[in-house]
Amino acid sequence: MTEQTAARRVVTNMSLSLDGRYARPADPHDMSWVMPYAVTDVARDHLTSLWEPATTALLGRVNAEGFLGFWPTVIGMEGADPRDEGFAKWLVDADKVVLSSTLAEAPWERTTIADRPAAEVVEDLRAAEGGDILVLSSASVIKALLAADQVDRLALTIFPVFLGGGPRLFDDGLPAGRWSLVSQAAGEHGTLALVYDRVR
């Protein structure tokens, strides 16, 4: 029924440095700067609040390989935080859509490969039944969805470091619009979790 499916939200989650970068300039895949902050209570609670209402994970190929290579190993890991294990189980069980022009077939269960623009894929997902569509730290996907004004909820974790360069999440030329702050939390090491909803 379209009445049920009309409410599917596109929720994007990204970690940013205080100077607005999501990766180091020299090595965009080096996420070591995130680790001291990602294991704080505020960051873990923030992620939990995002995946609990979601039924679909939308990822770019590089992030899919990183996430799906690591997170399943957390399940049953000795000493694992229950929130980390909960996310890991959700990620394994959730429907996953990976945007890729190079993968012919998915090496992961419950995964569909889509070689189409992110906005088109999201339109199809919105038309299907389910909960939130969660875009997990895939900058290229989030940028494309922001440019197409397809993001309903923007979740950010701000870490108090300057990377001094590197790619930015918010490019010039994004559609003008207002956002409403729906939650905020500050935690250890100055970690800040913010959630904004698009005002339409």
- Taking only the tens place, the pLDDT of each residue in 89-128 is 999 999 999 999 999 888 899 999 999 999 999 999 999 9
Q: What is the distance between the terminal CA atoms of the chain, rounded to a whole angstrom?
A: 23
Total count of residues recorded for the chain: 200
- Smallest Cα–Cα separation from 151: which of 3, 30, 13? 13
Question: Whole-angstrom Cα distance, residue 12 to residue 152?
Answer: 8
pLDDT tens-digit series, residues 171-190: 999 999 999 999 999 998 99
In this prediction, residue 89 carries a pLDDT of: 97
The tokens of 157 are what?
Answer: 């974790």
User: Do the Cβ atoms of 141 and 60 come closer than 8 Å?
Assistant: yes
Average pLDDT over residues 27-52: 91
User: Do the Cβ atoms of 144 and 119 come closer than 8 Å?
Assistant: yes
This prediction's pTM:
0.93
Residue 112 CB neighbour total at 10 angstroms: 13
2 band by pLDDT with thresholds 50, 70 and 90: very low
Question: Whole-angstrom Cα distance, residue 198 to residue 190?
Answer: 26
In this prediction, residue 5 carries a pLDDT of: 40
pLDDT tens-digit series, residues 134-156: 999 999 999 999 999 999 999 99
6 band by pLDDT with thresholds 50, 70 and 90: low
In this prediction, residue 147 carries a pLDDT of: 97
Question: Whole-angstrom Cα distance, residue 97 to residue 193?
Answer: 25
Question: Whole-angstrom Cα distance, residue 162 to residue 1?
Answer: 47
26 band by pLDDT with thresholds 50, 70 and 90: confident
